[in-house]
C-alpha cells in the first residue's frame, strides 16, 4: 500500500483545530469583535497600535466551523504532498512565511483602499502550499506525485474566481500566499527526491 507520512501537516491541522475548540468554549468564533480580542487581524491595530503579532496569530483563527473545515480539508489534501517533497522544516517555513506574506499583501491593499475588516484564517498559508507545489510541478514536467500542474493552476484560478465573486473573502491574502509560496519554493526546493515507500 502506498504511504506518505506527514507529521508536520498533522500537527498544523491539530493546532488549528485545538485553537478553534479552545475559543469556541469561550465565545462565538463567528463574531468579529470576539475574534479581534483573540488575535484576528485588523489593519488599524497593526499600523496604529503596533499589534504586529496579528499578522501571525490570525493564521490560526477561523470564523466558524465551516471556515475551519474547508481550510483543513484542503490542507490535509495537499499539505502532505509538499511536506514529502521538501521535508518538514522547509514545509513549515513555506506555510508560515506564505501566511505572513498573504496577510502583508492584504494589509497593503486595505491601506490603499481604506476598507478595513477583521480577518482570520489559514487560507493564505494554504495558498502558499499550492504556489510551492505549482513551482515543483514546473520542475518535474508538470506533476507532483498524484497532482498535476494544470490541476493546481485550475484550483488556484477557480478559488480566486469564487473569492472575487463572493463577499467576505480576503482575496489579496490568497494572492499573496500563492506568490510567496511559489517564490519560497524557488529558494528552498531541491530536486533530489527520496525513493517512494511501499508496504
Q: What would the pLDDT profile of 100-131 be if each residue is shown by its tens digit?
A: 999 999 999 999 988 899 999 999 999 999 89
- Tell me if residue 123 is catalytic: yes
Q: What is the pLDDT of residue 170?
A: 79
What are the backbone dihedrals phi and psi of residue 131, each rounded to the nearest 5 degrees, phi first? Answer: -60, -40
Compute the C-alpha angle 160/166/168, nearest 5°.
Answer: 100
Distance CA 22, CA 61 (A): 11
Q: Hey, is 144 helix, strand or coil? A: strand
Grid cell digits, residue 139 = 520542475
In tens, the pLDDT along 11-52 reads: 999 999 999 999 999 999 999 999 999 999 999 999 999 999
H or E element that contains 173: helix 171-188
Residues 42, 43, 45, 49: what is their CA dihedral angle, to the nearest 10 degrees?
170
Per the listing, cell 498524484 goes with 146
- Tell me if residue 174 is catalytic: yes
Grid cell digits, residue 128 = 502558499
In the set 62, 98, 119, 174, the catalytic residue is 174
Q: What is the pLDDT of residue 162?
A: 54
Among 70, 97, 52, which Cα is nearest to 16's? Answer: 70
- Taking the model in full, what pTM does it have? 0.86
In the set 58, 98, 119, 123, the catalytic residue is 123
Distance CA 37, CA 71 (A): 22
Amino acid at each position: 500500500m502506498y504511504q506518505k507520512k506527514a507529521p508536520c501537516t498533522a500537527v498544523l491541522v491539530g493546532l488549528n483545530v485545538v485553537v478553534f475548540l479552545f475559543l469556541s468554549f469561550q465565545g462565538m468564533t463567528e463574531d468579529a469583535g470576539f475574534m479581534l480580542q483573540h488575535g484576528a487581524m485588523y489593519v488599524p491595530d497593526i499600523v496604529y497600535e503596533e499589534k504586529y503579532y496579528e499578522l501571525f496569530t490570525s493564521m490560526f483563527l477561523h470564523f466558524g466551523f465551516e471556515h475551519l473545515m474547508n481550510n483543513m480539508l484542503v490542507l490535509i489534501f495537499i499539505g502532505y504532498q509538499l511536506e514529502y517533497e521538501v521535508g518538514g522544516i522547509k514545509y513549515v517555513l513555506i506555510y508560515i512565511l506564505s501566511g505572513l506574506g498573504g496577510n502583508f499583501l492584504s494589509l497593503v491593499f486595505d491601506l490603499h483602499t481604506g476598507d478595513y475588516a477583521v480577518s482570520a484564517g489559514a487560507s493564505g498559508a494554504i495558498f502558499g502550499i499550492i504556489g510551492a507545489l505549482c513551482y515543483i510541478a514546473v520542475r518535474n514536467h508538470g506533476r507532483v506525485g498524484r497532482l498535476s500542474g494544470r490541476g493546481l493552476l485550475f484550483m488556484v484560478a477557480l478559488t480566486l474566481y469564487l473569492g472575487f465573486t463572493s463577499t467576505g473573502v480576503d482575496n489579496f491574502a490568497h494572492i499573496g500566499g500563492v506568490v510567496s509560496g511559489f517564490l519560497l519554493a524557488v529558494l528552498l526546493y531541491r530536486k533530489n527526491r527520496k525513493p517512494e515507500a511501499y508496504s
